[in-house]
Chain A
Amino acid sequence: MDLVAGVIANGVLMGAVYALIAFGLTIIFGVMRVVNFAHGEMVVIGMYAGYFLWAAFDTHPLAAVLPAAALLFLIGYLLQFHLVQHFLARPAHVQFILFIALALVITGAHLVAFGPNPRGIFSLASFEVYRIGGLRLDAVRSQAAAAALLIVALLWAFLRASRLGRAIRAAADNRTGAAVVGIRIRHVYAVTAGIGMACAGAAGALVAPLFDTHPFLAPEFTLIAFITVILGGIGSLPGALLGGLLIGVAEAAAALVLSPSMKSVLSYGLLILVMLARPQGIIGSPEGQR
């Protein structure tokens, strides 16, 4: 029983982090209708930021979240403003190749700059556990999940309540309409891309103590973010949260029941099922679909 409870609990915690990654992907898609195929690379940049902050200042893993998010916000803003902006009206496959090329450049740059060796954060904190009854919850993972949920909640509030947030949502709903009422669309888009990639960067800093950082982790993160987003409903923020938790728990459960090496079968199976049966995602709205 402890086995099942422990594994599922870990799945939930991982799911929260997946949700944060997916949140970034889905907000970019929801507003600009662009699929960021280099999203995983952004996570890896965040991981390197987390690693190097720890290596230089021996900081607590959570302390790297803000700097990593800020760095990725800047990268996202500049990328959108100067590069991706010109591709918004282009067909999907051109956007796809653009992001694939970006992904290659980032991976190559990581390899050149930091080498292929995995960089692990060794701190006693990463071995701590919280005990709740018979349940042992890994401290780093719990903190990462809590931080991820907090960030998601803050962003949610920001999009609902702030002026800029409302402008972003207006732009998502109606591009020309937003332009008519005087929203500086290019700036709003760049901020959105910045926020989306900052989510990836923050998630990267959060997982840096969990997975050792190396240049080739990215495709895995991109794939998991895709599956999460489609499950929840593309463009839907609560959907990303739900999708993340679902994937986290599904993979954990699959690792218990099936051979653990087959656990992604369940994610892909779920993905196909949702696409066929409910293409708008579990709680997405039909307009989210393109």
Chain B
Amino acid sequence: MIRITRRAALAGAAAALAAPATIRAQSAPVKVGVILPTSGVLAVPGQASRRGIDLGARMIAEAGGPRMEVIHADTASRPENGRVAAERLIREGCTVLVGAWDSGTTISAAQAAEPARIPLVVNIASAPQITEQGFSMVFRNFTPANVLIRNAVERIREFGQITGELPRTAVLLHVNDTFGTSIAQAVSALWTQLGIPIQIVETLSYAVTARDLSAEVARAKAANPELLMPVTRVNDAILIVREMVRQDFVPKAIIGPGSPGPYEKAFTDAVGRFGDEYMVCVPWHNPRNPRTAEVLQRFAREYPNERFELNVGFSFEAMEIVADAIRRAGSGDPAALHAALRTTDIQDHIMYGGPIRFDEKGQNNNIGGVMLQNQNQEPKVVGPAEVAEARAIYPLTPFRNRR
């Protein structure tokens, strides 16, 4: 694994000499503190996020971006460490923070960032409350659960237009953790309001530590839905697919609204072709953007055994947002960075959606959502049409025909 070192960040400084005057005026590199759960139970997404941060820092430095020194802090997946990590990074001279993947840690870090007047760019954290608590230092470039569901519903509607029909009944099967609960609440609040003609006949939740989902899948099958909507993490997505194969449960489609899991490499490695045609509606990189292709190639070269998914993508983009703010602020002064972040307006960026702008609460409302479908064990964008890279397969090929 390639590490971002202070030396690597400094190496970028040489390139910066060729850059515009505002950057050259910058005397010392701006210290960027990154808070992530790289060990403990959230280590999988935490380490994926770190790859995005590291790659972003390297590519920005090589492109002659502002000089940045990335300092990492691990929370060991314990929320109370968010505050301590933020305080430590602030002490080490960081004037902008990035983090912290999970909602509890993000709030904890925000408690330290707020009085210190140090901006916190949230790479990932989906609890709607984060931007509703009145923090003035928080900037979130990730979709809260309700927006995830709005986007997902939009994609499902379009999907119906492409295939000519929509499933009529659905079962929502969700993991009972912070994320799964937010999604389930958003679904129940928005589903009828957005007028989607799919009737949710049953909602089932299972514990995040569930070892065995045979009973859950059996209950979902018994409800005989045309659509299964699993909201999962990666382990349980694997368990669900295995059970569906064994129980020969073949709905017309599997669509996870806002759900992580199936696009991860661990999933496609574990269930192979039985995981094909599984769809999720998530924020994702824009495959049609030439810059995205460049970043993907670079990622594939540096991390040949990993996949570029949304944890990597949004962490990469968080670094771009920070670099952009430093460039416009012309210094690493936190107040100037805060002012610059407020007026962020990035048109060309790798994640699908409109320009990156933050509203008065610090939320970027322009993040789009795509529909992904696993095809040949790779997640492919199948909607919306403007960024699609493959045609959706519908209805689901029965598992027994895939052996």
Contacts and interface: CB of A to CB of B under 8 A. Distances in A.
A interacts with B: yes
Interface in A198-234: 210-212, 214, 216-217, 220
Contacts of A138: 214, 246
B218 A126 contact: no
B176 interface: yes
Interface stretch (A110-118, A162-170, A189-197, A273-281): A110-118
Nearest to B175: A261
A116 B39 CA distance: 8
Interface string A98-138: 00000000000001000111111110101111000000101
Interface residues of A, number: 39
Interface string A141-172: 00000000000000000000000000000000
Residue in B204, B214, B265 with the greatest tally of chain A CB atoms within 10 Å: B214
Interface in B234-251: 234-235, 238-239, 242, 245-248
Contacts of B216: 255, 260
A73 B248 CA distance: 39
A116 to B, nearest CB: 3
A245 B245 CA distance: 25
Contact of B215 (A116, A220, A255): A255
B403 A212 contact: no
Interface residues of B, number: 42
Interface stretch (B266-274, B289-297, B325-333): B266-274
Interface string B257-285: 00000000110011110100000000000
B44 interface: yes
Contacts of B403: 124, 127
Interface of A is mostly: helix
11 contacts: A6-B218, A7-B219, A111-B43, A118-B44, A118-B266, A122-B269, A122-B270, A136-B246, A256-B215, A260-B219, A261-B205
Contacts of A121: 270
A264 interface: yes
A127 B176 contact: no
A-B interface, 7 closest residue pairs, ranked by CB to CB distance from nearest: A120-B270, A116-B43, A255-B215, A261-B176, A261-B205, A260-B206, A10-B214
B209 interface: yes
A122 B270 CA distance: 5
Given A120-B266, A255-B216, A220 B211 contact: yes
